[in-house]
């Protein structure tokens, strides 16, 4: 426990927050890497996931690709790409590694969001004469949003955790005090850096948990307030047949 005190002292010391190598710079680098890579991955994966969800085609390919992607260690991929791209293009190598890491979660978030929608809702939209594009933009995307935000949440957390190893190839970020501290045997520094990454990850998780709640379209959430009795009954009936993980459940309940 003594070490934890020392680590907190190290974290709070004004010296850590000064100059170009200060913790605020490292935090900024860490967040910049995360935002840039999740944004690029999102531009690729979200439209692709929506296409899979809307057409129902290509799902097996996406699942298979995600399985293979999970088997590839990001740490090794980062080093391989750094060696291939050359020393001058290290940031590009890191961004590509993290983009590949983020794609499977985003893709799954996009298409499972569509799959969780009650088919009757989509059939009703089609029966009302909506075009496929209208169904996509007015029905599927809004209703699929909570699960998509869930996908973005897990992609962000995976990337935040993995950006830590970017320091190993001298790209900065909050992994820097951990890697430097390890070499110097300064464990207060190592633990201070580790605590900071862990706290950042937890904070982001809380923010995205809130965003996920906010992503439920207004009309869908409103049903609960207007007809509490009916929804409560529906939830009871759902309970045993629902096979999705905990947090999905709350969203699906609100959708039903």
Partner 1 sequence: MNWIAENIGLIGSLSLEHLRQSLIAILVGFLLSIPLGWVAWRYRLVRGPVVTLTGLLYTIPSLALLMILPVLTGMSAISEANLIVALTLYAVAIMVRGVVDGLDSVDPAARSAATALGYGSARRFFAVDLPLAGPVILAGLRVTAVSSISLATVGILVGVTNLGYLFTNGLQRRIIEEVFAGILAVALIALAVDLLLILIGRWLMPWTRDPKKSQQAVKHATRQQVS
Contact positions vs partner 1 (CB under 8 A): 1, 3-4, 62-63, 66-68, 70-77, 79-80, 82-84, 104-105, 108-109, 112, 115, 147, 150-151, 154, 157, 160-162, 164-165, 168-169, 175, 178-179, 182, 187, 190-191, 193-195, 197-198, 201-202, 205, 239-240, 242-248
For residue 82, the minimal CB distance to partner 1 (Å) is 7
Rounded Cα gap, residues 222 and 254, in angstroms: 9
Residue placing its CB nearer to partner 1 in the complex, 12 or 206: 206
For residue 160, the minimal CB distance to partner 1 (Å) is 7
Q: Do residues 184 and 126 make contact, with C-beta atoms less than 8 angstroms apart?
A: no
For residue 74, the minimal CB distance to partner 1 (Å) is 8
Q: What burial letters (b/e) apply to 65-78, b meaning 16+ CB within 10 Å?
A: eeeebeeeebeebb
Residue placing its CB nearer to partner 1 in the complex, 32 or 168: 168
Find, among 163, 145, 62, 162, the residue nearest to 105 by Cα: 62
Q: Do residues 136 and 54 make contact, with C-beta atoms less than 8 angstroms apart?
A: yes
Residue placing its CB nearer to partner 1 in the complex, 136 or 192: 192
Residue placing its CB nearer to partner 1 in the complex, 125 or 208: 208
Torsion, CA 123, CA 124, CA 128, CA 134, rounded to 10? -70
Structure tokens at 197: 């990454």
What is the 3-class SS of 125-169, one letter each residue?
A: HHHCCCCHHHHHHHHHHHHHHHHHHHHHHHHHHHHHHHHHHHHHH
Q: Do residues 181 and 16 make contact, with C-beta atoms less than 8 angstroms apart?
A: no
For residue 21, the minimal CB distance to partner 1 (Å) is 19
Residue placing its CB nearer to partner 1 in the complex, 225 or 236: 236
Q: Do residues 107 and 164 make contact, with C-beta atoms less than 8 angstroms apart?
A: no
From residue 59, how far is each of 50, 53, 112, 123, 183 by CA, in Å?
11, 8, 10, 21, 45
Residue placing its CB nearer to partner 1 in the complex, 91 or 151: 151
For residue 150, the minimal CB distance to partner 1 (Å) is 5
Rounded Cα gap, residues 29 and 172, in angstroms: 7
Residue placing its CB nearer to partner 1 in the complex, 91 or 125: 91
For residue 127, the minimal CB distance to partner 1 (Å) is 27
For residue 151, the minimal CB distance to partner 1 (Å) is 5
């Amino acid at each position: 426990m003594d070490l934890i005190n020392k680590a907190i002292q190290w974290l709070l010391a004004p010296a850590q927050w000064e100059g170009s190598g200060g913790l605020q710079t490292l935090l900024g680098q860490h967040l910049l890497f995360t935002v840039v890579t999740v944004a690029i991955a999102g531009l690729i994966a979200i439209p692709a996931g929506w296409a899979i969800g809307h057409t129902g085609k290509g799902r097996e390919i996406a699942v298979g690709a995600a399985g293979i992607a999970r088997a590839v260690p990001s740490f090794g991929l980062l080093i391989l790409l750094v060696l291939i791209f050359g020393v001058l293009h290290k940031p590009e190598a890191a961004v590509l590694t993290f983009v590949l890491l983020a794609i499977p979660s985003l893709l799954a978030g996009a298409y499972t969001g569509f799959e969780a929608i009650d088919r009757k809702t989509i059939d009703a939209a089609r029966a009302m004469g909506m075009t496929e594009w209208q169904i996509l933009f007015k029905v599927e995307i809004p209703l699929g949003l909570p699960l998509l935000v869930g996908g973005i949440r897990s992609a962000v957390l995976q990337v935040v955790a993995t950006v830590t190893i970017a320091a190993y190839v001298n790209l900065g970020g909050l992994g820097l005090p951990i890697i430097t501290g390890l070499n110097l045997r300064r464990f207060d520094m190592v633990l201070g850096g580790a605590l900071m990454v862990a706290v950042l990850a937890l904070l982001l998780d809380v923010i995205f948990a809130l965003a996920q709640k906010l992503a439920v379209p207004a009309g869908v959430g409103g049903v609960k307030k207007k007809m509490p009795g009916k929804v409560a009954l529906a939830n009871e009936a759902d309970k045993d047949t629902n096979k999705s993980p905990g947090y999905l459940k709350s969203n699906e309940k609100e959708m039903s």
